[in-house]
Amino acid sequence: MPRKQTITESRNDGLTRRSYVRSLAAVAAATTGAVGTAAAADGADAERIVIDPGEDRTIKVGDGETFENRVIDCTAEGARVTVSAMGTDWTIRNVAVEGELDVGAPGAVFGIADTGGGSSRLENVYLGDGSTNAGGDTAETAIWVAPDHSGKLDIQGVNVQRFPDNAIYASAPGGKGGGTVHIDRCFAANCRVAHYRIGSAGSTVTNSSVRLDDEGYDGRGVWVWAPGPCEVKNCQLETGDNHYAIRAGANGSASSVSVTDTAYDEGYHGGINGEGSVDLGSGVETGAEAVVPDAVPTSPGEAVGDD
């Protein structure tokens, strides 16, 4: 995966992620409950949820629930969705959001956390159609992990591209709930601010790639907020000369990250910086060549077994 740059700083505290607060306000207008059981995605069993023009729908996933095998059609003008999972031991899998989001207010497509100290999963998700780059006051976040996250969250097999306010924004639990986030076998490309953003102790990014090659959607490869420590392993961070591949710390607070078996680009001021330590261990090299991991769906149909 290729490259590009970013400069916007972002907030990391409180349940104040504008996207989530705004999305919950829409629950009264339109809420869909989650249903579903296990089983691999099968195109014949996938459900299409069509969001009407101008509709802002929230789909809630509760404790122990599974939300799966859905294509959420946001191709209509002004259509958007938030899938909100703020409980424990939930699963979201085999889900695609179809259509570039073009709304004029900030939002997060997934607002998630395991708030009960359990273990939850987000896997095999397509967010590759992205959002318009509408500026800071109206910017969409792809995946936002709330500060109250206190359990273990696995984010696996996600394709997220062209979101202007972070791809996977998972640093907030470092300042409150302290739950871990494991980003594994994901692909993020051409997002602003950061592609993978973590911060709680024990959180990791593994077997994942970043590509930055589209002017205007430029963000850090991995941004590790306080307190850490966190780990990056077996990743390809192809940011070219457009932004840092790895940054540790923010807003005067230091963090630390250990990096192994990873390739990164050093064209942007050496590729690494921050208010903290970046420990480059064994198997680290420069000159990344990002690829889409095998586990990542490359289309909405692939996410639900239609392709």
pLDDT in tens, 39-76: 344 555 899 999 999 999 999 999 999 999 999 999 99
SS3 71: strand
Assigned domain for 2 exists: no
Assigned domain for 5 exists: no
Give the pLDDT score at 45: 83
Give the pLDDT score at 19: 37
Q: What is the pTM of this model?
A: 0.88
Assigned domain for 11 exists: no
Residue 15 in tokens: 């349940």
**Domain count along the chain:** 1
Mean pLDDT of 204-226: 93
Assigned domain for 9 exists: no
Give the pLDDT score at 7: 21
Residue 166 in tokens: 């972070």
Give the separation between CA 47 and CA 270, rounded to whole angstroms.
47
CB 288 within 8 A of CB 237: yes
Mean pLDDT of 149-156: 98
Mean pLDDT of 154-178: 96
Lowest-pLDDT choice from 28-32, 183-187, 239-243: 28-32
Of residues 28 and 199, more confidence is placed in 199
Per the structure, the complete domain to which residue 165 belongs is given by 18-304
Give the separation between CA 227 and CA 204, rounded to whole angstroms.
13
CB 183 within 8 A of CB 206: yes
Assigned domain for 8 exists: no
Give the pLDDT score at 279: 97
Assigned domain for 263 exists: yes
Q: Quick check: 106 pLDDT over 50? A: yes
Assigned domain for 27 exists: yes
CB 89 within 8 A of CB 113: no
> pLDDT digit string (tens) for 250-270?
989 999 999 999 999 999 999
Give the pLDDT score at 137: 65
Give the separation between CA 213 and CA 283, rounded to whole angstroms.
25
> pLDDT digit string (tens) for 228-238?
999 999 999 99
**Percent of the residues in the chain that have a pLDDT greater than 70, as a whole number:** 83
Mean pLDDT of 297-305: 97
